[in-house]
Amino acid sequence: MERARKPTALATTPGLPPQPQVTLTDSNARLTATLPTGESIDILLHGATILSWKDAAGRENFWLSDAAKLDGSGAARGGIPIVFPVFGTSDGHGAEKLPQHGFARNSRWEFLGKSTSEAAKEGVKLDFGLSSQNLSDDVRAQWPYTFGLLYSVTLDRGSLNTTLVVTNDGDVPFEFQTLLHNYFRVDDIEKVTVTGFEDAPYVDKVDQFKTKSQAGPVTFAGETDRVYTPAQGPGHPLVIEEDGKPRFRIVRDNLEDAVIFNPWVDKAQGMGDFEPKDGWKKMLCVEPGSVSKWQTLEKGDAFEAAQTIYLV
Ligand code: BG6
């Protein structure tokens, strides 16, 4: 019924600013987070592997193989696989039975939820967990320690932070190594240089594990697989440049080492999940880690380490 004097509408509550959207897809196997400004990440719960990181214009920052295993049947080739508790393989330190790069990249993690924080001013923080209880009996038999891993991924407008906290929840100490195996997407590996490694000692895995010293920026002209311990410490940024222009700046926290890896022609041919076969031209791994030594974690102790990747 028309009324001469309708009640005035209540003043609308001022709307919240647009919020980041977090969506679980693929029967809860995958998660996408998108900021109101357009930046996005895509994460596979298998391995808590970040598969994709796009800027606001939709430009992809990570390389992901066309043949990457995304169904939980193996570790994904690309993005950021998490290496824990061993880098490569080892015949000591309690890691004798573990497969290459450990089990974290090949185990299903739990999504623990999203939050906003001081650290993520305009962004979003996503937490993932993996503990001994989540592991299959086979994996527990390979590494019988009681541990917890908390992996926090913070997407902000121009940066991505990944933080790993390792806790020893058992009664006996354990040793571990860890590494964030970033696969960056580049336009042409032969035009890439990486700075921040000047004067760093490194172990050259493609030259009989000889120890060498880096002179000037790192450049690429063949298979590259090196474990660096940058001389200026973790606080000193590592910068990936293309055509002389900085593209990614990586700041490490409590990660002393960084591996640089590109398989080039022959090794890429031999990797079953590496597609296209000439994809080595478009990728570069720069992987902050703690791998040249072993961390020992006593009962009840925690280890925290992180990287922040800035787009520049
Ligand atoms: C790098 C190692 O970190 O990872 C290389 O230094 C290795 O030696 C590469 O080939 C890829 O490892 P995977 O197990 O994923 O094939």
- Whether pLDDT at 10 is above 60: no
Please give the full DSSP string across 113-169, using - where no structure is assigned: EEE--SSSSSSEEEEEEEEGGGS-HHHHHHS---EEEEEEEEE-SSEEEEEEEEEE-
- Whether pLDDT at 53 is above 90: yes
Minimal-distance CA residue to ligand 1 atom 9: 261
**Token code pair at residue 253:** 């926290």
- Whether pLDDT at 4 is above 60: no
* 287 catalytic residue (yes or no): yes
Number of CB atoms found within 10 A of residue 304's CB: 13
Q: How far is the CA of 46 from the centre of ligand 1 (A)?
A: 18
Tens of pLDDT, residue by residue over 57-67, are 999 999 999 99
Residues 262 and 189: beta-carbon distance below 8 Å? yes
Comparison of pLDDT for 15 and 186, the residue scoring more: 186
The three-state secondary structure class of 17 is coil
Tens of pLDDT, residue by residue over 67-104, are 999 999 999 999 999 999 999 999 999 999 999 999 99
Residues 45 and 153: beta-carbon distance below 8 Å? no
Q: Check residue 1 and give its pLDDT.
A: 45
Q: How far, CA to CA in Å, does 53 sit from each of 10, 57, 74, 292?
A: 42, 11, 21, 28
Q: Is 177 annotated as a binding residue?
A: no
Comparison of pLDDT for 26 and 1, the residue scoring more: 26
Lowest mean pLDDT among 48-57, 227-236, 271-280: 227-236
* 181 catalytic residue (yes or no): yes
Residues 166 and 178: beta-carbon distance below 8 Å? yes
User: Mean pLDDT across the stretch 263-275?
Assistant: 98
Q: How far is the CA of 90 from the centre of ligand 1 (A)?
A: 14
Lowest mean pLDDT among 28-37, 114-123, 210-219, 230-239: 114-123
Q: Is 247 annotated as a binding residue?
A: no
pLDDT classification of 233: cutoffs 50, 70, 90 = confident
Burial class of 190 by CB neighbour count within 10 A (0 to 12, 13 to 18, 19+): exposed
Minimal-distance CA residue to ligand 1 atom 6: 225
Q: Letter for the amino acid at 274?
A: F
Q: How far, CA to CA in Å, does 29 sit from each of 17, 108, 214, 225?
A: 29, 9, 41, 32
Q: Check residue 256 and give its pLDDT.
A: 96
Residues with CB under 6 A from ligand 1: 100-101, 181, 205, 225, 259, 261, 287
Q: Check residue 116 and give its pLDDT.
A: 78
Q: Check residue 122 and give its pLDDT.
A: 83
- Whether pLDDT at 178 is above 60: yes
User: Mean pLDDT across the stretch 224-247?
Assistant: 93
Q: Check residue 154 and give its pLDDT.
A: 96
- Whether pLDDT at 7 is above 60: no
Q: Check residue 235 and give its pLDDT.
A: 83
Q: How far, CA to CA in Å, does 9 sit from each of 3, 6, 14, 42?
A: 14, 9, 14, 42
Lowest mean pLDDT among 14-28, 52-66, 145-159, 180-194: 14-28
Please give the full DSSP string across 26-84, using - where no structure is assigned: TTTTEEEEE-TTS-EEEEETBTTEEEEEE-TT--B-B-B-TT---SSSS--SBSBPEEB
- Whether pLDDT at 195 is above 70: yes
Indicate which residue of 175, 181, 223, 275 is catalytic: 181
Q: How far is the CA of 304 from the centre of ligand 1 (A)?
A: 23
